[in-house]
Amino acid sequence: MPVDAAALKPFEGRTVLVTGGTGMIGRQLVDILCEAGAKVTTVSLDPQGDPRALHIRGDLTDAVFCQMVTKDQEYIFHLAGLKGGAASMGQKGLDLALGMMLMDYNVLEASRLNGVPHLLYTSSIGAYASSKFPLKESEAWTGWPMDIPGQAKRMAEMVISTYVRQCGLLGYGAVRLAACYGPGDRFEVEGSMVIPALLAWVKGGGSPIVVKGDGSQVRDFIYSRDAAEGIVLAMVKQPDALPINIGTGERWTIRSVAQVITEVTGVPHGFSGPAAGYPVRVLDVGLAKKLLGFEARTSLEEGIRKTWEWLKTRP
């Protein structure tokens, strides 16, 4: 079920900043917050998003800009970041990491300096080491992150943990997201994550769908609206700075994902070679269920179908 009214009550009439508020998850989060009666401001490099929110277009790698947009905010959801598929990680991993670290530090430090009482940071499954699955929050600080952007996420989490311990900013926390997909994603054949990349291939007239690797990799996918609902609950209910996993906990092979996309789009698929990337990336979501009362409610088939229907109407 959607987030209930009681959980949304703290945002009514409050100033709320959503960085990356025009993105895939951000637009869903902004919709939830506006419906709750919050005074929402979004920040990104994109044009205006939800007309109910004040939109400020700007660059979060600019520390002065970050201090300006975080002033007088009561809640900050820091979603802005850089993302991409395996190809982007390999070719532009350093650029992604440096850009993310600069944005994250600027937003976090500006929030601290401006006395923002509540902040939630969106980290990712990439911040974990890859040795144990499903991944539990208690293993958050062990091992080396899966990729360079994951290391950047880990650094931001460490800054938040330090703020909590040394500065008493008890309203600061983080969530670690599984692989997200949905309307408003970045749909590029090269550079996007697997679901938007395959849908972009179909949108561009490609047939059959060509899946890189043999499809044996196992992933945890969460629909964007579900992720936004989990993020809202984490802001309200999160007990400390320990990152909480937001995902489904379900194991989907890329082969089975490709089959769902074929069923939804009617376009056949095939595979291009041996397995690539980490064999398994799945979150343990027990803590989110216990502490937040959160469970994802959109099946993979339903989510892909909604995403495809949205994408078909876009030029």
d(CA 215, CA 65) in angstroms, rounded, equals 43
Pick out the chain residues at pLDDT < 70: 1, 83-93, 130-132, 140-141, 239-241
d(CA 221, CA 195) in angstroms, rounded, equals 9
**40 pairs with which residues across the strands?**
16
d(CA 136, CA 283) in angstroms, rounded, equals 7
pLDDT at 277: 75
The domains of the chain, with CATH numbers, are 11-312 (3.40.50.720)
How crowded is residue 91: how many other Cβ atoms within 10 Å of its Cβ? 13
3-class DSSP state of 275: coil
d(CA 310, CA 314) in angstroms, rounded, equals 7
In this structure, what token pair is assigned to residue 201? 């291939």
Torsion-angle region of 72 (φ positive above 0: left; ψ -120 to 50: alpha; else: beta): left
pLDDT at 86: 53
pLDDT at 190: 84
Query: pTM higher than 0.85, yes or no?
Result: yes
